[in-house]
Amino acid sequence: MNVGTTVTQFIIEEQRRHRSASGDFTALINDIVIAVKSIAHSVRRGGLAGVLGGAGSENVQGEIQKKLDVLSNDVFLRCNEWGGHVAAMASEEMDDVYNIPAEYPRGKYLLLFDPLDGSTNTDVNGIIGTIFSVLRAPESGGRPVATDFLQAGAEQVAAGMAIYGPQTILVLTTGHGVNAFTLDDSIGEFLLTHPDMRVPEESVEYAINASNERFWAPPVQRYIGECRAGREGPRGKDFNMRWMGAMVGDVYRVLCRGGVFLYPWDTKTAAKGGKLRLMYEANPVAMLIEQAGGLASTGTQRILDLQPDGLHQRVPVIMGSRHEVERIVAYHLEG
């Protein structure tokens, strides 16, 4: 599709490929886009709107919430509860499933989201974003419960993320490749700027929180050690380390320039299973990476094959350029 196409036109054109499509999915994506625009506006206003700083509360993970965490979560709920396209929602910021209020019809999709990834960056004007995942609701039409959301990532209908940075960018997959749209503030529309994104198979960049090095498992220590050794080491080339403190920013760079993003298993987070949430972060971003030709693994398993055991399950994450992820997985298999 042509550069400059609006995201609405893009989704409608996708819908036309499926003669049996009802339009519900298109309407859902449009509601998600409205939520992203609203959050982007609040992010730009920042301190002028009094939305920076702590909210004085904790989320289900025991993390201190920022004001923008709470605001963004509420925006996503309000924008998506009324349209009749969603049967229920689940958020990283909420303990349990959010059921659609009785005055609104229930739809045929389940929506999961991390309303504000990297929220600790808000007070320092760093990169932040939103991540979302769309699943099919049970055909029974009943009131969804938590177990209805526990579907493997391979079952996702769509996934995406928004990056609130120098530009506001929406990255989207509906299972037919990955496309990115940039918000044109002058007309209030997301326009296609990065069609058919592909992750380069090789790169000289990696993203990892190096402060956790002492907690890493030997396969990850080996991989990072080889990268640091540069041209004199076994890789024979120099690497650069990047770390933005927000998954959306690091993964978007991987989509554009290749490389690998790691939040691996370590002894620090072993009791929790990992750092990142399977349902709200790992699954949707893994779908984006795979649809762009990359790989996404825990180190031992394909992320999209994992059978979730809870809404807030955490997992190790290694994703990016195919050859780099294959190398890290091989190191895990060697032990």
Quick one: 190 and 209 in the same domain? no
> Residues 242-287: pLDDT tens digits?
999 999 999 999 999 999 999 999 999 999 999 999 999 999 999 9
Of all residues in the chain, the percent with pLDDT exceeding 70 is 94
Quick one: 110 and 47 in the same domain? yes
Reduced DSSP (H G I as helix, E B as strand, rest coil) percent helix, strand, coil of the chain, to 5 = 40, 25, 35
Does 199 reside within a domain?
no
Residue 242 pairs in a beta bridge with 207
Quick one: 180 and 237 in the same domain? no
The pLDDT score that the predictor gives to residue 45 is 80
The pLDDT score that the predictor gives to residue 181 is 99
Quick one: 161 and 34 in the same domain? yes
Q: Which of 13-22, 47-56, 132-141, 148-157 has the highest mean pLDDT?
A: 148-157
Q: What is the mean pLDDT of residues 320-335?
A: 96
Residue 116 among known ligand-binding residues: yes
The yes-or-no verdict on residue 50 having pLDDT over 80 is no
Quick one: 325 and 278 in the same domain? yes
Quick one: 167 and 236 in the same domain? no
Quick one: 155 and 290 in the same domain? no
Quick one: 232 and 184 in the same domain? no
What is the rounded CA–CA span in Å between residue 111 and residue 88? 7
What is the rounded CA–CA span in Å between residue 105 and residue 225? 54
Are residues 177 and 171 in contact, defined by beta-carbon separation less than 8 angstroms?
no
Quick one: 13 and 135 in the same domain? yes
Q: Which one of 168, 194, 220 terminates a domain?
A: 194
Q: Which residue has the higher pLDDT, 216 or 43?
A: 216
What is the rounded CA–CA span in Å between residue 327 and residue 323? 6
Q: DSSP labels for 86-154?
A: EEEEEETTSSS-EEPPTTS---SEEEEEEEEETGGGGGGT--EEEEEEEEEPPTT-S---HHHH---GG
Q: Which one of 153, 173, 194 terminates a domain?
A: 194
The pLDDT score that the predictor gives to residue 134 is 99
The pLDDT score that the predictor gives to residue 57 is 65
Quick one: 102 and 236 in the same domain? no
Is residue 55 very low, low, confident or very high in pLDDT (cuts 50, 70, 90)?
low
Is residue 326 very low, low, confident or very high in pLDDT (cuts 50, 70, 90)?
very high
Q: What is the mean pLDDT of residues 159-182?
A: 98
Does 1 reside within a domain?
no
The pLDDT score that the predictor gives to residue 247 is 98
**70 is in which domain, residue-wise?**
7-194
Residue 313 pairs in a beta bridge with none
What is the rounded CA–CA span in Å between residue 122 and residue 65? 11
Residue 262 among known ligand-binding residues: no
Q: Return the SS3 of 192.
A: strand
The yes-or-no verdict on residue 26 having pLDDT over 80 is yes
Q: Which one of 151, 173, 194 terminates a domain?
A: 194
CATH of the domain at 151: 3.30.540.10
Does 200 reside within a domain?
no
CATH of the domain at 266: 3.40.190.80
Residue 281 among known ligand-binding residues: yes
User: For the chain, how many structural domains are there in total?
Assistant: 2
The yes-or-no verdict on residue 25 having pLDDT over 70 is yes
The yes-or-no verdict on residue 173 having pLDDT over 80 is yes
Quick one: 178 and 70 in the same domain? yes
